[in-house]
Amino acid sequence: MERGLILLSAVLMVSVALGQDLTPLTQAEVTRDGCGEHKTCMGSPAKCDPAEAQSPCMFSSLARLSEEKKLLFQVRQYVADGNYAGLYLTTEGKSLMFTCAILSTGFTHQVMSGNTVITSNEVVTGVRGSMIASVLRCEFRVNMTAVTSAVSVVMGTGTFTEDSPGVITFETMENTVSLEIPNIPTVKEDTMSSGASSLFHSHALSVVLTFLTMVAMHSA
């Protein structure tokens, strides 16, 4: 199996017990500016504009912050019928899941390593987010020591209730994104394949892991 990371945008939210309000993230801060130059961008539809207020754009980007030794991730999802977005990372048998959502109690986020909730900010820092007119935006930084040199991407969107998540629609990035210094943008923008739908339940993390393993085997 090819080494690297697998990212899942809009993965299921297993628990929100340790969530907290996020620092606001404005519409103008999640854009295509710099795509292909100092950050790698992925979207569906291809090259959709995340800055458009009502655009049904699923967008994710990553950039290297060399001075901080971190990777900056931004996620933008149009969630008219949903309420959460996130990022799932796995490398060499280790997993990291970041989720953010808008619930009745407000904006919340959580980080998990495997089945364990991470309460410290040693791995993920600088969390920001907003929900404006059915558009959910999240931004966070991941310590580069937590990742390796390659990444594959899965994006999606879904709905989370107090009981369980609903249907998640997936879009799979076939390409591997290199994280080698000095440049991250080593693949074409928005290389997105066809999507599929799956139904998850609140305790179905093993199903997600199985799905991601299948994606990794497919791209190996």
Read off the pLDDT of residues 33-88 as tens digits, 9 standing for 90 and up. Answer: 888 777 888 777 878 888 887 788 888 888 877 766 788 888 888 776 666 676 66
HEC secondary structure over the chain: CCCCEEEEECCCCCCCCCCCCCEECCHHHCCCCCECCCEEEEEECCCCCCCCCCCCCEEEEEEEECCCCEEEEEEEEECCCCCEEEEEEEECCEEEEEEEEEECCEEEEEEEECCEECCCCCCEEEEEEEEECCEEEEEEEEEHHHCCCEEEEEEEEECECCCCECEEEEEEEEEEEECCCCCCCCCCCCCEEEEEEEECCCCCHHHHHHHHHHHHHHHC
Q: Give the C-alpha separation, 41 to 26, whole Å.
A: 18
Q: How confident is the model at residue 212 (pLDDT cuts 50, 70, 90)?
A: very low
> Is it the case that residue 209 has pLDDT exceeding 50?
no
Cα 149–chain centre separation: 17
pTM beyond 0.85, yes or no? no
Q: Give the C-alpha separation, 60 to 44, whole Å.
A: 9
Read off the pLDDT of residues 13-39 as tens digits, 9 standing for 90 and up. Answer: 333 333 344 456 666 688 888 887 778
Read off the pLDDT of residues 98-150 as tens digits, 9 standing for 90 and up. Answer: 777 776 666 677 776 666 777 666 777 888 888 787 788 888 887 766 665 55
pLDDT of residue 200: 28
pLDDT of residue 141: 83
Q: Decide which of 178 and 11 is more confident.
A: 178
pLDDT of residue 214: 30
C-beta separation of 165 from 202 below 8 A: yes
